[in-house]
């Protein structure tokens, strides 16, 4: 079940603060829990020490998870869990995201920016480095997807290298961490109404620059990723089952954003 609406008591979880790396106010809190023999990694939406949980990044993760299923792109899967959590002694009712470990047995993970610093050749850019490693398809798919969802936080630790020294294998982890995307900074109806879904907000991209649109130009025209086609009928798949969790207006605007940005990308592909 992707969305678990029956409320759980997770007040026993301990949350560590991770500063919001996109440079705006707020923090993201992370924790782990066991489910049988499985270790789950949990995170909350944007948290403010005074106002509480103010964001909806966990909902974004579920929507992008569904979108990447449609596109046919390998990615980390998330669950949305309704729960009571305890932060600084205060019980808060919320929805959190949970995911399983994407490492295989024997693999160790390392942030791409650290691996790049250790292994790069002289004057080699992160993009050139990834292409030399054989990760060209992965990176181009990531850049295209990050344009469609306007992912603002693809820093070097949001791309992970998985190594198995015994088997001498190395790969990039499935795409993960898409919370700071879509309408991630819209906290009110007014914010939603005035938001321009095609506006180019500043983004972080370790292998590119600060514009998601400009980052598309890094992909050679003959290598633009071809995803499974997004259709108007997919709207129901992407934004269903969120009743009582986030507003109808937010969901409608998120769909509008995905659809219009997909159309821009599709037009670009058709001009190849």
Look at phi and psi of residue 113 and say left if phi exceeds 0, alpha if psi is from -120 to 50, else beta.
alpha
| Sequence-separated (6 or more) residues with CB below 8 Å from residue 170 | 133, 161, 162, 163, 164
What DSSP line would sit under 40-68, residue for residue?
Answer: EEEE-S-EETTTEE---HHHHHHHHHHHH
Domain co-membership, 180 together with 120 = yes
Over its length of 272 residues, how does the chain's per-residue pLDDT go in tens digits? 799 999 999 999 999 865 444 433 347 899 999 998 899 999 999 998 889 999 999 999 999 999 999 999 999 999 999 999 999 999 999 999 999 999 999 999 999 999 999 999 999 999 999 999 999 999 999 999 999 999 999 999 999 999 999 999 999 999 999 999 999 999 999 999 999 999 999 999 999 999 999 999 999 999 999 999 999 999 999 999 999 999 999 999 999 999 999 999 999 999 86
The token duo for 148 is 């469609």
- Tell me which of 67, 100, 133 is where a domain ends: 100
Domain co-membership, 153 together with 192 = yes
Rg (CA), the chain: 19
Number of structural domains the chain divides into:
2
Domain co-membership, 46 together with 85 = yes
Domain co-membership, 264 together with 231 = yes
Decide if 79 contacts 2 (C-beta within 8 A): yes
The residue segments making up the domain with residue 225 are 108-270
Domain co-membership, 166 together with 187 = yes
Residue 202 belongs to a domain with what CATH number? 1.10.1070.20
- Tell me which of 49, 74, 100 is where a domain ends: 100
Domain co-membership, 56 together with 125 = no
Domain co-membership, 140 together with 46 = no
Domain co-membership, 210 together with 247 = yes
Taking the model in full, what pTM does it have?
0.94
């Amino acid at each position: 079940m992707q969305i678990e609406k029956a409320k759980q008591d997770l007040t026993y979880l301990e949350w560590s603060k991770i500063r919001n790396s996109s440079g705006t106010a707020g923090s993201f809190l992370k924790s782990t829990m066991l489910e049988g023999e499985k270790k789950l990694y949990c995170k909350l939406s944007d948290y403010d020490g005074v106002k509480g949980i103010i964001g909806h990044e966990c909902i974004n993760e579920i929507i992008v998870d569904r979108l990447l299923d449609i596109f046919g792109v390998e990615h980390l899967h998330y669950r949305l869990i309704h729960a009571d959590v305890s932060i600084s002694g205060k019980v808060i009712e919320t929805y959190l995201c949970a995911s399983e470990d994407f490492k295989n047995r024997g693999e160790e993970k390392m942030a791409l920016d650290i691996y790049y610093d250790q292994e790069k050749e002289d004057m080699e850019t992160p993009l050139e480095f990834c292409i030399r490693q054989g990760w060209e398809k992965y990176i181009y798919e990531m850049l295209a997807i990050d344009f469609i969802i306007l992912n603002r936080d693809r820093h070097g630790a949001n791309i992970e290298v998985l190594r198995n020294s015994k088997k001498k294998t190395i790969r990039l982890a499935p795409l993960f961490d898409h919370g700071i995307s879509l309408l991630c900074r819209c906290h009110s109806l007014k914010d939603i109404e005035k938001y321009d879904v095609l506006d180019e907000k500043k983004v972080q991209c370790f292998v590119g620059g600060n514009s998601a649109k400009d980052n598309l130009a890094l992909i050679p025209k003959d290598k633009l990723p071809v995803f499974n086609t997004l259709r108007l009928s997919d709207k129901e798949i992407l934004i269903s089952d969120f009743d009582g969790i986030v507003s109808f207006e937010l969901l409608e605007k998120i769909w509008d954003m995905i659809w219009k940005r997909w159309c821009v990308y599709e037009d670009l592909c058709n001009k190849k």
